[in-house]
Structure 1
Amino acid sequence: MAQFSIFGSRTAGRPVRCVSGVQGARYGLSKAEFMEKVQQSNEACQRGDFQAAVHLYTNALQADPQNCILYSNRSAAQLKLGQHQAALDDAEKACELNPKWPKVSV
């Protein structure tokens, strides 16, 4: 299944990792389980279930807390839910982790 980003087609199909490798073993997730969480969160966004997407992105971030793409995607989902401060916090974290990530440019 193709990878989806709620930020548009430019990121679809690209690797999920942004800065660090998957740290899932430290957090009880295998790489496959991590990838499944990411896929589920992307699918939740596709169907408009942003609450589920935020929850799933949060789970994935526990396994890879240095992943700017996950913060960026969770930020967009939070914005759709009207959680403006949380969305801003995640956008700032994504920018901090990778200032060159195109989705966090001003």
Structure 2
Amino acid sequence: MEKVQQSNEACQRGDFQAAVHLYSDALQADPQNCILYSNRSAALLKLGHHQAALDDAEKACELNPKWPKVSDIVDLK
């Protein structure tokens, strides 16, 4: 949970590189968490890593097809 809080704070500061790293760490502990994939996708998008952002958005949709935050990213495909 600490990594999630730190990653959210990094996003709020605009430190998307740190956020991606922290979300990745959190995903190692909870690889079935669609919210973490969704949040990392948003951070990756801010960094201009479009394919990686799309990959994470698709994974979030796979884990939870009704998760609303990823539908905008996946629709860009």
Which whole-Å CA distance do the structure 2 matches of 1:83 and 1:102 have between them? 21
**1:62-99, Cα deviation, whole Å (9 max, x unpaired):** 00000000000000000000000000000000000000
Query: Matched residue of 1:99: which SS?
Result: coil
- Which of 1 and 2 has greater Rg? 1
Matched pairs, number: 71
- Cα distance, 1:104 vs. partner? 2.3
Query: Matched residue of 2:8: which SS?
Result: helix
Query: Matched residue of 1:66: which SS?
Result: coil
Query: After TM superposition, what 4+ stretches of structure 1 lie above 6 angstroms from structure 2?
Result: none
Report the TM-score when normalising by structure 1. 0.66
Q: What 5-or-longer segments of structure 1 have no aligned partner? A: 1-34
- Cα distance, 1:45 vs. partner? 0.1
Aligned CA RMSD, in angstroms, stands at: 0.5
Q: Note if 1:52 corresponds to 2:7.
A: no
**1:25-64, Cα deviation, whole Å (9 max, x unpaired):** xxxxxxxxxx100000000000000000000000000000
Identity %: 94
Query: Matched residue of 2:52: which SS?
Result: helix
Which whole-Å CA distance do the structure 2 matches of 1:104 and 1:41 have between them? 18
Normalized per residue, the structure richer in helix is 2
